[in-house]
Amino acid sequence: MGQYDMTLGTLLVGIFFNTYLFGIVTYQFALYYRTKFNDRLHVKCMVLILFIIDTVHSVGVIYMGWVYAVTNFNQPSALGYELWPYPFTPIGTAAAALITHLLLGDRIWRLTGNTPLYVCIVILALITFSLGVGCGIWAWIIHVIAELPRIKSIVIAWLSMQVFLDTLITAVLSITLTRAKTGYPPSDTVVRRLIRGAIQTGLFASIFALGDLICFFALPSSFMYAMFATPIGRIYSNTLLDTLLVRKSLRVQLSSSAFERTSRLMGWVPSDIQQPLSATTTNIHLEVHQDIQENADATSFDADGKNNAPLA
């Protein structure tokens, strides 16, 4: 019975944490659509798909927890068989990861103009997604949890690819944006916020994916790895939405013209620019610094306190 209690307890911890994160991302989804950013249509559609996936999965795992902990209370044999939210977890996680990777890959392309790198990220994202879906389908067919070690090889390949891709995207975005720093506090503040979003998107998801991988490798017949696997999709949604909602504070710090230019450079909103900006690491600074200079020129005063701004 002790093993049963520990197994059920670890599963419930993952479900409770996932439910907590779902509450946060639900608020973020509402804030995103209420703020009415002028984002490209495909960005809005991807955010909506994320919300649907998060809702279906979160409701499903709550139902699963109820069946295991309430309906079949003190029936250890019930934990030996999967309910549909269990194999759906890798599928939902893979879908959330794919959306995140594609959006961040597009951002890298717009920042660097490196088309081969962008194509490589897209291919790796599709491979990772396929492996995750394969894990879910195979687990659905097996049905018996004690036999899940049979898919150990594909699980290891999926989670390893996911961690590698998260690390690659985080490193490229961080390095690219770090090069935009020039020592001017206003522009560096913008860059630091963008770097923070890039790091947290890959870092937290990678930590939970590694926990999932280690626990599945060491204890494949238990629910221990489910404690890490269940909330990974919500972590992707939470961190990705944070990178989109950061514009709410940037809009306050920058003038409308500088905010609009930065939004186009980052690919947040539609732009009439047909080619990526290969020098965006410099352009982010130039756009923000230009705004600073324009504001300084408009409010400059001479030693006698007279306004020296040129007349229109």
Q: What is the pLDDT along the chain (312 residues), one digit of tens a residue?
A: 456 666 778 888 999 999 999 999 999 999 998 887 778 888 889 999 999 999 999 999 999 999 988 888 878 777 788 889 989 999 999 999 999 999 889 888 888 888 999 999 999 999 999 999 999 999 999 888 878 888 889 999 999 999 999 999 999 988 887 876 656 565 566 677 777 777 887 788 889 999 988 988 887 766 788 889 999 999 999 988 888 887 776 666 555 655 566 556 555 555 444 444 444 444 444 444 444 444 444 444 444 444 444 333
Question: DSSP labels for 201-214?
Answer: HHHHHHHHHHHHHH
Cβ–Cβ contacts within 10 Å for residue 180, how many? Answer: 21
Q: Which helix (DSSP H) or strand (DSSP E) does residue 146 occupy? A: none
Residue-level pLDDT at 261: 60
Residue 225 C-alpha from the chain's centroid:
21
Domain residue ranges of the chain, discontinuous segments joined by +: 2-295
Reading the block at residue 20, the tokens are 């907590």
Helix ranges (DSSP H) in 219-298: 224-229, 232-245, 247-253, 256-266, 280-298
User: For the whole model, what pTM was predicted?
Assistant: 0.80
Residue-level pLDDT at 307: 45
Residue-level pLDDT at 293: 46
Q: Which helix (DSSP H) or strand (DSSP E) does residue 303 occupy? A: none
> In sequence order, which residues have a C-beta less than 8 Å from that of residue 129 and are 6 or more positions away?
94, 95, 97, 98
Residue-level pLDDT at 150: 86
